[in-house]
Amino acid sequence: MKIYNVEDPVKFLEVIKECKGSVELISKEGDRLNLKSELTKYLAISKLFSDDTIINELELVASDPDDVNLLLEYMMNGH
């Protein structure tokens, strides 16, 4: 799934933390970074949000269908 226009990285990370299963960020090179891992999350997100701009597009893979719904709700209402 793709998430667009992430304006509030703190809120985005709160939603990721609420997810029950794994949530992976797909890099432009095709690498999968597990956002549930604290180390990976901080490395990936600090790079993505380092210049204080809105992130136009992120590609995520969520392993749990409930997490997909949570992320869809975030996209529609949370940012």
Q: Is there a contact between 70 and 18 (Cβ–Cβ < 8 Å)? A: yes
Residue 58 near residue 3, CB atoms below 8 Å: yes
Q: Mean pLDDT, to the nearest integer, of 16-38?
A: 89
The answer to whether 79 and 8 have CB atoms below 8 angstroms apart is: yes
Q: What is the pTM of this model?
A: 0.76
Of residues 47 and 66, the one with the higher pLDDT is: 66
Q: How many residues does the chain have?
A: 79
Per-residue pLDDT at 47 = 66
Confirm if 23 and 44 have CB atoms less than 8 A apart: no
> Cβ distance 67 to 75 under 8 Å?
no
Residue from 51, 59, 45 nearest 9 by CA: 45
Residues 57-64 have a mean pLDDT of: 91
Residue in 15, 34, 12 with CA at minimum distance from that of residue 24: 34
